[in-house]
Amino acid sequence: MKILRASARKTNRAPESNFTGTVFSDEVVAGAAPSRMRASVVSFTPGARTARHSHPVGQTLFCLSGSGRVQREGEPVREIQPGDTAIIPPDVRHWHGAAPDKLFSHLAMSELTPTRARAPRGSSMAGKLKQHQGLPIKACIRCAARRVVTAPVLAAMPNRG
Ligand code: MN
């Protein structure tokens, strides 16, 4: 058994390429193969949110504090509050983040695909552009999510960076 001490792990700034506004990430677990588990606590400053993206095996968001927002593409923006669980199905484009005037944090849980679970941790897989269903993927192991983004979508997004 291993105990990962909070004092030994620092909070990371979430990569600007995947988020709008200031976002921090505390890794909870990045399971070693054959585990495909990825979990992080993600903390959004008011108004901050993810870029639109999807997850090949879906994603579960457990709301911890503050006031959040989540939107599935083509549907209305939904409010999410501490104690709520949002379940994002596989390959569904969506974003999540904080309410405009409140901090927000959630525990983000997802799984890598079986293929990716075999890649060694910290390998050059992280941050590399790959193809997935014809779209370029930016894979980020650290934030426990795979961002599926297309250049036109990124260009059309307001307030990026
Ligand atoms: Mn997501």
DSSP string, 122-141: TSTTTT-EEEETTEEEEEET
CA 126 to centroid of ligand 1, rounded, Å: 17
CA 38 to centroid of ligand 1, rounded, Å: 12
Domain 6-111: give its CATH superfamily: Jelly Rolls (2.60.120.10)
Domain spans, the chain: 6-111, 114-161
CA 27 to centroid of ligand 1, rounded, Å: 15
CA 8 to centroid of ligand 1, rounded, Å: 27
CA 78 to centroid of ligand 1, rounded, Å: 14
DSSP string, 55-67: -TT-EEEEEEEE-
| One pLDDT digit (tens) per residue for the chain, 161 residues | 999 999 999 999 999 999 999 999 999 999 999 999 999 999 999 999 999 999 999 999 999 999 999 999 999 999 999 999 999 999 999 999 999 999 999 999 999 887 765 545 444 444 444 434 333 444 443 333 444 433 333 334 444 33
